[in-house]
Amino acid sequence: MDVGLLTLGDHRADPATGLRNSQAEKHRELLEYIDFAEPAGFDAVFVGEHHFSDFIVSAPHVFLSWLAGRTSTIRLGTGVSLLPHHDAVRLAEDFATLDVISAGRAEVWCGKGVEPSVYRQFGQDIGRVLEMQQEGLELLRRLWTERNVTWSGHFRPPLEQVTLEPRPVQQPHVPIHVACSSPESAASTARMGLGITISLLYFPRSVLPRVVDAYHEAWADAGHEHAPSVTVNAHVHVAPTSQEARDHLQIYQFPFQRWVFAKKSGVNPDEVVLPAHIVDLDDIDGAIVNGSPDEVLDRIERLRELCRFDRFTYQGDYGGQPWTRIKRSLDLFATGVMPNIAGRMVTMS
């Protein structure tokens, strides 16, 4: 099982102090966070995308290009690219270029985002978001796998005899994962022959096996020759003791989650009632993977017992946490959890 490192780049004030560093300082922290990944043994880095928001990363390919020049093995992906907001031609060019300069290490996760108001700012009808994403996915793959592409759709001008340059290194194309939160969306993605990425924040743990099973069943029915791919993403915090991890998250996790849920729903954050799978930090089946190194390893192992997935992705830099705590958690995960994952998970395969 691979292990990835994810950042969405939120720029929140520290709820314990009310202080917030500058955007330039936050970007330096983000670069240090992703730069930690390869020497620490992570297999992949993923950088999110948002617009007009206190999630301040709007151009993840810039971060990934910077990291490509400093690394040699780690995979480089978006988590996620908001495909409906993009011209698929430009996105295809950006990530074909990243694939070339990284010697075939690029990856794209695609999703629709969680902030409905952004669609207004892009002049888009949110009611057609699924159509926009589907059209973009189909065009991406054609541009990466075909030459002299002639194409027409609903959301960008037609193409006539277009060959994308540069050509991506990876064949048949740069790997694509689609963010899924239901069995239906997972099955639809499987039929397209694409990977899926799932956040544990989306739903109670009991739903996760249904989503993953629907993906694998639809994949088998489709008869694809290549292998399926499932990534599970989690908020993670590791501390020397489990109680210290939970005391820390009581301060930083819940205000952040209320803020995010408010963005989705348009209500005041103070009015948000968080679901039990996010609030109960003691629950081994909760959404937030937290505790001592041993407990975090146990929680990841329990996840793997529930469903088949190929990559676990750690997100640990959210909610205005002090950089010293973010870095300590990363260090503990890298030294106390990751060296034991391979052996524990191999015995379960």
Specify the pLDDT at position 344: 60
Instruction: Say whether pLDDT at 120 is over 50.
Output: yes
Q: How confident is the model at residue 347 (pLDDT cuts 50, 70, 90)?
A: very low
Q: How confident is the model at residue 348 (pLDDT cuts 50, 70, 90)?
A: very low
φ, ψ (nearest 5 deg) of residue 229: -150, 125
For residue 172, say if its preceding peptide bond is cis, omega within 30 degrees of 0.
yes
Can you tell me the distance from the alpha carbon of 328 to that of 248, in angstroms, rounded to the nearest whole number?
A: 12
DSSP result, 5-22:
EEE--B----TTT-----
DSSP result, 19-49:
----HHHHHHHHHHHHHTHHHHT-SEEEE--
Contacts (Cβ under 8 Å, ≥6 apart) of 288: 200, 234, 235, 236, 237, 249, 253, 278, 281
Contacts (Cβ under 8 Å, ≥6 apart) of 253: 235, 237, 278, 281, 288, 319
**Domains in the chain and their CATH numbers?**
2-346 (3.20.20.30)
Question: Which carries the bigger pLDDT value, residue 59 or residue 341?
Answer: 59
**Helix ranges restricted to H, the chain:** 23-35, 37-40, 60-68, 88-101, 116-121, 129-145, 183-192, 208-222, 242-265, 276-279, 293-306, 323-336, 338-346
Return the structure tokens found at 240.
């020397």
Query: Is the torsion defined by CA of 36, 52, 116, 81 positive or negative?
Result: negative
- CB hemisphere CA count around 213 (13 angstroms): 8
Specify the pLDDT at position 115: 87
Q: Is 241:292 a contact under the CB 8 Å cutoff?
A: yes
Question: Lowest mean pLDDT: which of 91-100, 106-115, 165-174?
Answer: 106-115
Can you tell me the distance from the alpha carbon of 83 to that of 67, in angstroms, rounded to the nearest whole number?
A: 22
> Helix (H, G, I), strand (E, B), or coil: what is residue 254?
helix
Q: What pLDDT, in 10s, does the model give residues 187-229? A: 999 999 999 999 999 999 999 999 999 999 999 999 999 999 9
Contacts (Cβ under 8 Å, ≥6 apart) of 175: 77, 107, 108, 195, 229
Q: How confident is the model at residue 345 (pLDDT cuts 50, 70, 90)?
A: low
Burial letters 48-87, b for 16+ CB under 10 A, else e: bbbbebebebeebbebbbebbeebeebbbbbbbbbbbbbe
Q: Is 120:113 a contact under the CB 8 Å cutoff?
A: no
Q: How confident is the model at residue 343 (pLDDT cuts 50, 70, 90)?
A: low
Question: Which carries the bigger pLDDT value, residue 345 or residue 34?
Answer: 34
Specify the pLDDT at position 138: 97
> Helix (H, G, I), strand (E, B), or coil: what is residue 329?
helix
Q: Is 129:119 a contact under the CB 8 Å cutoff?
A: yes
Query: Is the torsion defined by CA of 258, 259, 260, 265 positive or negative?
Result: positive
**Average pLDDT of span 312-322:** 98
Is the pTM higher than 0.75? yes
Specify the pLDDT at position 118: 94
φ, ψ (nearest 5 deg) of residue 348: -95, -10
Nearest Cα residue to 143 out of 192, 184, 90, 70:
90
> Helix (H, G, I), strand (E, B), or coil: what is residue 260?
helix
